[in-house]
Structure 1
Amino acid sequence: MAYDEQLAARIRAALAGRPSVREVRMFGGLSFMVDEQLTVAADSQGRLMVRCDPERVDELLERPGASWPEMRGKPMSRGWLVVDSAGTSSAGDLEWWVAQALDHRAARG
Protein backbone atom coordinates (compact mmCIF):
# COMPACT_ATOMS: atom_id res chain seq x y z
CA MET A 1 0.00 0.00 0.00
CA ALA A 2 1.70 3.20 -1.19
CA TYR A 3 -0.87 5.61 0.27
CA ASP A 4 -3.32 5.69 3.17
CA GLU A 5 -6.45 3.93 1.89
CA GLN A 6 -8.63 5.44 4.63
CA LEU A 7 -7.47 8.96 3.74
CA ALA A 8 -8.17 8.25 0.07
CA ALA A 9 -11.69 7.08 0.95
CA ARG A 10 -12.26 10.24 2.97
CA ILE A 11 -11.07 12.39 0.06
CA ARG A 12 -13.43 10.48 -2.27
CA ALA A 13 -16.30 11.23 0.12
CA ALA A 14 -15.38 14.93 0.25
CA LEU A 15 -15.37 15.07 -3.56
CA ALA A 16 -18.50 12.94 -4.01
CA GLY A 17 -21.04 14.38 -6.40
CA ARG A 18 -18.56 16.61 -8.20
CA PRO A 19 -18.33 16.04 -11.94
CA SER A 20 -14.99 15.46 -13.60
CA VAL A 21 -13.11 13.81 -10.71
CA ARG A 22 -10.50 11.25 -11.69
CA GLU A 23 -8.03 9.32 -9.55
CA VAL A 24 -4.46 8.89 -10.73
CA ARG A 25 -1.61 7.05 -9.03
CA MET A 26 1.46 9.28 -9.08
CA PHE A 27 4.37 10.32 -6.88
CA GLY A 28 3.85 7.20 -4.75
CA GLY A 29 0.37 8.31 -3.76
CA LEU A 30 -3.13 8.71 -5.10
CA SER A 31 -3.93 12.04 -6.74
CA PHE A 32 -7.39 13.42 -7.36
CA MET A 33 -7.79 15.39 -10.56
CA VAL A 34 -10.73 17.79 -10.79
CA ASP A 35 -11.43 18.95 -14.34
CA GLU A 36 -8.06 17.37 -15.25
CA GLN A 37 -6.14 19.52 -12.74
CA LEU A 38 -4.32 17.98 -9.79
CA THR A 39 -6.23 19.26 -6.78
CA VAL A 40 -5.53 17.04 -3.74
CA ALA A 41 -3.72 13.78 -3.08
CA ALA A 42 -3.13 11.15 -0.44
CA ASP A 43 0.66 11.00 -0.40
CA SER A 44 2.97 8.07 0.29
CA GLN A 45 3.38 9.18 3.92
CA GLY A 46 -0.35 9.23 4.69
CA ARG A 47 -0.66 12.99 4.46
CA LEU A 48 -3.05 15.12 2.45
CA MET A 49 -1.32 17.08 -0.30
CA VAL A 50 -3.20 20.25 -1.20
CA ARG A 51 -2.90 22.57 -4.20
CA CYS A 52 -3.53 26.08 -2.89
CA ASP A 53 -3.22 29.75 -3.70
CA PRO A 54 0.50 30.61 -3.53
CA GLU A 55 -0.40 33.97 -1.98
CA ARG A 56 -2.08 32.18 0.96
CA VAL A 57 0.67 29.68 1.77
CA ASP A 58 2.00 31.57 4.81
CA GLU A 59 -1.51 31.93 6.24
CA LEU A 60 -2.36 28.27 5.59
CA LEU A 61 0.90 27.08 7.18
CA GLU A 62 -0.46 28.36 10.50
CA ARG A 63 -3.20 25.70 10.46
CA PRO A 64 -2.64 22.55 12.55
CA GLY A 65 -0.73 19.83 10.74
CA ALA A 66 0.20 21.96 7.70
CA SER A 67 3.77 22.01 6.44
CA TRP A 68 5.80 22.76 3.35
CA PRO A 69 6.14 19.67 1.15
CA GLU A 70 9.37 18.27 -0.19
CA MET A 71 9.90 16.04 -3.16
CA ARG A 72 13.14 14.09 -3.35
CA GLY A 73 14.57 16.22 -0.54
CA LYS A 74 13.82 19.58 -2.16
CA PRO A 75 11.06 22.00 -1.19
CA MET A 76 8.16 22.15 -3.64
CA SER A 77 7.05 25.44 -5.12
CA ARG A 78 4.62 27.79 -3.40
CA GLY A 79 1.09 26.61 -3.99
CA TRP A 80 1.52 23.18 -2.44
CA LEU A 81 1.11 22.12 1.18
CA VAL A 82 0.93 18.83 3.00
CA VAL A 83 -1.32 18.29 5.99
CA ASP A 84 -0.69 15.47 8.43
CA SER A 85 -3.34 13.62 10.42
CA ALA A 86 -3.38 16.33 13.11
CA GLY A 87 -4.87 18.68 10.53
CA THR A 88 -7.29 16.23 8.93
CA SER A 89 -8.53 14.18 11.88
CA SER A 90 -12.13 15.36 11.69
CA ALA A 91 -14.37 15.25 8.64
CA GLY A 92 -14.77 19.02 8.92
CA ASP A 93 -11.01 19.58 8.89
CA LEU A 94 -10.49 17.41 5.82
CA GLU A 95 -13.43 19.00 4.02
CA TRP A 96 -12.04 22.48 4.82
CA TRP A 97 -8.71 21.60 3.18
CA VAL A 98 -10.41 20.05 0.16
CA ALA A 99 -12.52 23.22 -0.15
CA GLN A 100 -9.33 25.34 -0.18
CA ALA A 101 -7.98 23.26 -3.04
CA LEU A 102 -11.27 23.40 -4.94
CA ASP A 103 -11.53 27.17 -4.49
CA HIS A 104 -8.01 27.59 -5.85
CA ARG A 105 -8.76 25.29 -8.76
CA ALA A 106 -11.93 27.25 -9.59
CA ALA A 107 -10.04 30.57 -9.43
CA ARG A 108 -7.46 29.28 -11.93
CA GLY A 109 -10.23 28.36 -14.34
Structure 2
Amino acid sequence: MDELASRALTIGGPWAIVALAVVMMLRGDIVSRRFLDDAQRTADKWERAHARSEEARHEAQRQNGEMLEVVHTANHVLSALPHGGREVSHAPVDQAPVSPQG
Protein backbone atom coordinates (compact mmCIF):
# COMPACT_ATOMS: atom_id res chain seq x y z
CA MET A 1 0.00 0.00 0.00
CA ASP A 2 2.94 2.33 0.61
CA GLU A 3 4.08 1.94 -2.98
CA LEU A 4 0.57 2.74 -4.21
CA ALA A 5 0.46 5.86 -2.03
CA SER A 6 3.84 7.09 -3.26
CA ARG A 7 2.88 6.56 -6.91
CA ALA A 8 -0.44 8.33 -6.34
CA LEU A 9 1.39 11.34 -4.96
CA THR A 10 3.80 11.57 -7.84
CA ILE A 11 1.28 10.97 -10.60
CA GLY A 12 -2.00 12.52 -9.46
CA GLY A 13 -1.18 14.94 -6.73
CA PRO A 14 -3.79 15.83 -4.10
CA TRP A 15 -6.68 14.24 -6.00
CA ALA A 16 -4.88 10.95 -6.00
CA ILE A 17 -4.61 11.15 -2.22
CA VAL A 18 -8.36 11.78 -1.97
CA ALA A 19 -9.04 8.87 -4.32
CA LEU A 20 -6.69 6.67 -2.32
CA ALA A 21 -8.49 7.59 0.91
CA VAL A 22 -11.86 6.78 -0.65
CA VAL A 23 -10.58 3.42 -1.88
CA MET A 24 -9.18 2.64 1.56
CA MET A 25 -12.50 3.57 3.19
CA LEU A 26 -14.42 1.36 0.78
CA ARG A 27 -12.07 -1.55 1.44
CA GLY A 28 -12.49 -1.11 5.19
CA ASP A 29 -8.90 -0.08 5.87
CA ILE A 30 -10.15 3.22 7.31
CA VAL A 31 -13.18 3.28 9.61
CA SER A 32 -14.83 6.09 11.52
CA ARG A 33 -14.55 6.58 15.26
CA ARG A 34 -18.33 6.19 15.55
CA PHE A 35 -18.09 2.75 13.98
CA LEU A 36 -15.32 1.74 16.36
CA ASP A 37 -17.22 3.10 19.37
CA ASP A 38 -20.37 1.22 18.33
CA ALA A 39 -18.37 -1.96 17.86
CA GLN A 40 -16.79 -1.52 21.30
CA ARG A 41 -20.18 -0.94 22.95
CA THR A 42 -21.57 -4.04 21.26
CA ALA A 43 -18.59 -6.09 22.38
CA ASP A 44 -18.97 -4.79 25.95
CA LYS A 45 -22.67 -5.66 25.93
CA TRP A 46 -21.98 -9.23 24.78
CA GLU A 47 -19.20 -9.59 27.34
CA ARG A 48 -21.57 -8.55 30.15
CA ALA A 49 -24.25 -10.94 28.82
CA HIS A 50 -21.72 -13.76 28.77
CA ALA A 51 -20.67 -13.01 32.33
CA ARG A 52 -24.31 -13.08 33.50
CA SER A 53 -24.88 -16.32 31.62
CA GLU A 54 -21.85 -17.92 33.25
CA GLU A 55 -23.01 -16.80 36.70
CA ALA A 56 -26.45 -18.33 36.06
CA ARG A 57 -24.86 -21.55 34.80
CA HIS A 58 -22.67 -21.83 37.90
CA GLU A 59 -25.69 -21.17 40.14
CA ALA A 60 -27.74 -23.85 38.35
CA GLN A 61 -24.83 -26.28 38.65
CA ARG A 62 -24.57 -25.56 42.38
CA GLN A 63 -28.32 -26.07 42.86
CA ASN A 64 -28.22 -29.36 40.94
CA GLY A 65 -25.45 -30.54 43.24
CA GLU A 66 -27.52 -29.65 46.28
CA MET A 67 -30.54 -31.50 44.87
CA LEU A 68 -28.42 -34.59 44.26
CA GLU A 69 -27.27 -34.49 47.90
CA VAL A 70 -30.92 -34.32 49.03
CA VAL A 71 -31.82 -37.26 46.78
CA HIS A 72 -28.95 -39.36 48.13
CA THR A 73 -29.91 -38.50 51.70
CA ALA A 74 -33.57 -39.36 51.08
CA ASN A 75 -32.54 -42.61 49.42
CA HIS A 76 -30.45 -43.59 52.46
CA VAL A 77 -33.28 -42.70 54.84
CA LEU A 78 -35.86 -44.66 52.86
CA SER A 79 -33.61 -47.69 52.47
CA ALA A 80 -32.97 -47.71 56.25
CA LEU A 81 -36.68 -47.84 57.12
CA PRO A 82 -37.88 -51.25 58.29
CA HIS A 83 -40.30 -53.13 56.05
CA GLY A 84 -42.12 -54.80 58.94
CA GLY A 85 -40.39 -58.14 58.44
CA ARG A 86 -41.92 -58.73 55.02
CA GLU A 87 -40.86 -57.99 51.53
CA VAL A 88 -42.56 -55.16 49.78
CA SER A 89 -44.20 -56.46 46.65
CA HIS A 90 -46.19 -54.70 44.06
CA ALA A 91 -49.44 -56.26 42.92
CA PRO A 92 -49.51 -57.01 39.21
CA VAL A 93 -51.53 -54.53 37.24
CA ASP A 94 -54.18 -55.89 34.91
CA GLN A 95 -53.42 -54.46 31.52
CA ALA A 96 -56.40 -56.01 29.71
CA PRO A 97 -58.65 -53.53 27.94
CA VAL A 98 -62.02 -52.97 29.55
CA SER A 99 -65.00 -53.64 27.30
CA PRO A 100 -67.71 -50.96 27.13
CA GLN A 101 -70.31 -53.59 28.21
CA GLY A 102 -68.50 -54.02 31.48
The bucket for the TM-score relative to the shorter chain is: under 0.3
Q: TM-score, normalised by structure 1?
A: 0.19
As a proportion of its length, which structure holds more strand? Answer: 1
As a proportion of its length, which structure holds more helix? Answer: 2
Q: TM-score, normalised by structure 2?
A: 0.20
Structure ranking higher on relative contact order (CA contacts 8 Å, 6+ apart): 1
Larger radius of gyration: 2
